[in-house]
């Protein structure tokens, strides 16, 4: 992949991730005083990391999560950058669905810790309330990761089968 194609692909995937995190593509999920959302913007990050590598995954993750970082929790930007990088790294050794799920497992502790800090120290919730908000968020994110990992596996399979080279 040439540098120009890589840059264009990363920009496209980052833009797609941001669009996929905006309602109505992201479905609001009220959790007490906090509103999360059901979204599948990770799909673009997974595809970018798999097809273009870890550095492309980092960039698409960081830029592709700006909307979520600005409108929800700022720490999400670092988490999605981790997700993209790890997907690219794991994709070198594993099939796409496995790479995506392993990447999510690496990202999950970061999400848990930073979201806990956000809900307790920044929003002033007691620890029990923070955990009651954080638990459904983690479950939802895990389910979204599984759906996106399976979709990424199918999409990457057909991209490679079609002989499309980036």
pLDDT at 165 over 90: no
Q: How confident is the model over 4-33, as pLDDT tens digits?
A: 999 999 999 999 999 999 888 888 878 777
CA distance 112 to 133: 11
Measured CA distances, 11 to 54, 62, 132 (Å): 15, 11, 36
CATH number for 3-25+36-161: choose from 3.20.20.10, 1.10.1760.20, 3.30.413.10, 3.40.50.800: 1.10.1760.20
Written as one string, the DSSP assignment of 46-70 is HHHHHHH-HHHHHHHHHHHTHHHHH
β-strand partners of 166: none
CA distance 165 to 101: 24
For the chain, give every domain's residue range. 3-25+36-161
Residue-level pLDDT at 1: 59
Residue-level pLDDT at 42: 95
Evaluate if pTM is beyond 0.85. Answer: yes
């Amino acid at each position: 992949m040439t540098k120009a194609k890589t840059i264009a692909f990363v920009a496209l995937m980052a833009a797609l991730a941001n669009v996929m995190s905006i309602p109505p593509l992201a479905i609001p999920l009220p959790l007490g005083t906090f509103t999360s959302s059901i979204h599948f913007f990770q799909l673009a990050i997974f595809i970018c990391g798999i097809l273009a590598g870890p550095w492309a995954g980092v960039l698409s993750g960081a830029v592709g999560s700006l909307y979520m970082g600005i409108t929800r929790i700022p720490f999400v930007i670092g988490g999605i950058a981790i997700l993209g990088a790890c997907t690219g790294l794991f994709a070198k050794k594993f099939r796409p669905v496995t790479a995506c799920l392993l990447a999510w497992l690496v990202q999950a502790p970061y999400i848990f810790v930073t979201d806990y800090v956000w809900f307790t120290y920044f929003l002033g919730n007691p620890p029990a309330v923070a955990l009651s908000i954080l638990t459904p968020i983690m479950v939802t994110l895990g389910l979204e990761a599984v759906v996106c990992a399976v979709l990424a596996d199918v999409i990457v399979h057909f991209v490679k089968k079609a002989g499309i080279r980036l």
